[in-house]
């Protein structure tokens, strides 16, 4: 049985998700797990976990691209090990890669290493660019959005609203509400 997995990083990438779903159906996937979540937070990838738990011996997990599946070489190897342990295979459509063959397994390792290398190089260049922009005085970082709403947080707290309600009303996290209220309490002490 072919089991598909499709993922996009954000909710506004619906066209990309729809394209993946069409391709997985064309490839004969009988069951498809889909989600729209970043690959960075592996704990949030519930549908990937469901897909890995669903596959059985002889099944093949099918993805359209390698980066839709794994966030790093270590993560890819963890997924492959889980698939190997239950006697299932991996197929990556755009690479025409299938781990039912020794060549497919070798290529998966090589491509995973190259993908991880490319990501590390990209992050290094990004850090260098930020450092250069900071040195030139052009990079200030992200604006502190929560602290800009401190007056509104205090107003709502004075009206008797709880932290969860304040966070929802103002559009910031609960931790930010506590931080703002805590800073005020410690500065007045």
User: Is-contact 7 34, C-beta < 8 A?
Assistant: yes
Average pLDDT over residues 122-132: 91
Q: Are residues 48 and 98 in the same domain?
A: yes
Pair 92, 168 in one domain: no
Q: How far is 35 from 22, CA to CA, in rounded Å? A: 15
Entry pTM:
0.60
Query: Could you give the 3-state DSSP secondary structure of residue 5?
Result: strand
Q: Are residues 155 and 106 in the same domain?
A: no
Any domain includes 137: no
Q: Tell me what pLDDT residue 43 has.
A: 59
Residue 183 located in a structural domain: yes
The pLDDT tens digits of the residues spanning 128-154 come to 998 998 898 888 777 777 778 889 999
The answer to whether the CB of 64 falls within 8 A of the CB of 80 is: no
Residues marked as catalytic:
9
Q: Do the domain assignments include residue 169?
A: yes
Distance CA 88, CA 97 (A): 14
Domain range enclosing 78:
2-116
Q: Which CATH number fits the domain that encloses residue 109?
A: 3.40.50.1390
| Statement to judge: residues 28 and 100 lie in one domain | yes
In whole angstroms, give the CA distance from residue 153 to residue 86.
52
Q: How many domains does the chain have?
A: 2
- Same domain for 97 and 167, yes or no, is no
Which pLDDT tens digit goes with each residue over 57-92?
Answer: 999 999 999 888 887 777 888 898 899 999 999 999
| Residue 129 falls inside a structural domain | no
Residues 49 and 112 in one domain: yes
């Amino acid at each position: 049985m072919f089991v598909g997995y499709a993922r996009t990083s954000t909710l506004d990438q619906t066209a990309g998700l729809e394209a993946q779903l069409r391709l997985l159906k064309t490839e004969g996937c009988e069951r498809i797990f889909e989600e729209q979540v970043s690959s960075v937070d592996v704990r949030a990838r519930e549908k990937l976990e469901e897909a890995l738990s669903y596959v059985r011996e002889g099944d093949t997990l099918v993805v359209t691209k390698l980066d839709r599946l794994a966030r790093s070489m270590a993560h890819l190897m963890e997924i492959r090990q889980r698939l190997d342990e239950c006697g299932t295979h991996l197929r990556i459509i755009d690479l025409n890669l299938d781990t039912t063959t020794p060549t497919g397994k070798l290529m998966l390792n090589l491509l995973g290493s190259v993908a991880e290398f490319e990501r590390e190089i990209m992050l290094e260049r990004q850090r260098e660019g930020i450092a250069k922009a900071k040195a030139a005085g052009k990079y200030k970082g992200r604006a502190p959005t929560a602290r800009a709403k401190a007056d509104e947080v205090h107003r709502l707290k004075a009206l008797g609203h709880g932290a969860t309600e304040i966070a929802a009303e103002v559009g910031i996290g609960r931790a930010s509400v506590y931080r703002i209220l805590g800073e005020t309490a410690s500065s007045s002490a």
